Structure 1
Amino acid sequence: MSFFEVEYNKMANRCANRLSLKDKKDGLAVFAAINVKVERVDPIFEAYCREIAYLIYNVQAVIDMTRVVIGGGISAQEIVVQEIERQYQIILDALG
C-alpha cells in the first residue's frame, strides 16, 4: 500500500467516524459530505489536501516541474484537485 493510499484511508476513516457512518469504508458517503462542505469533515479533508500540496511544493523545490498529475481513483472527484490547488496557493501566498 502506498503512502497516499494509507493517508487517504486515514482521512476517509476520520471523516466516516465524524459522520457516524456504519460502514467506515463508504467512500461515496464520505465524498458526498465533502462535496457539500459538511463542517464536521471539511477540516479533515482540507488537512489531507494541504499535506499533498506540501509534498508537491517540496518536490518542486528540488525538481523543476511544469505540471503535476494527480491520479488514482480519488482524483475522479473534482473537489480533490480543486482543494489541492487551493491549499497549494495558500502555501505560496504564505511564503510571499
Structure 2
Amino acid sequence: MTRSLLYALLRNEAVERGARIEYGKRLQAVEETPDGVTARFDDGTAAAGHLMVGADGLRSAVRPQSCRAGRCRTQGLADGARLRRPHTDGRDY
C-alpha cells in the first residue's frame, strides 16, 4: 500500500465520520487530560480528543511531545486489505 493510498483511506473515513480536517497547523504542546488528550498549536488554537495519532512523518512534531514518559510505541505497517471497506455508492478509494 502506498503512503498516498493510506492517507486517502484514513482521511476519507475520518471525513465520513464527521471529523474536521485542518492543514497548516504547527503543534506546540500535547497535554494528557482525564478525558483524553489536548493538542495546542502555535496559532493559539487547541484540539481535544480521546487519542492522538502521530502520523506526521519522519520529522514528527508529535512523537517527541507524546513519547516523553516512554509510553510511545511504534506499530509498524498495516495490511491494506484489512483497512479497505467497500462503499455503498460504488466508489473506490
Bin for the TM-score computed over the shorter chain: 0.3 to 0.5
Higher RCO (Cα < 8 Å, 6 or more apart): 1
TM-score, normalising length: structure 1: 0.32
Instruction: Compare the two structures and name the one with the higher helix fraction.
Output: 1
Structure showing greater Rg? 2
**TM-score under structure 2 length normalisation:** 0.33
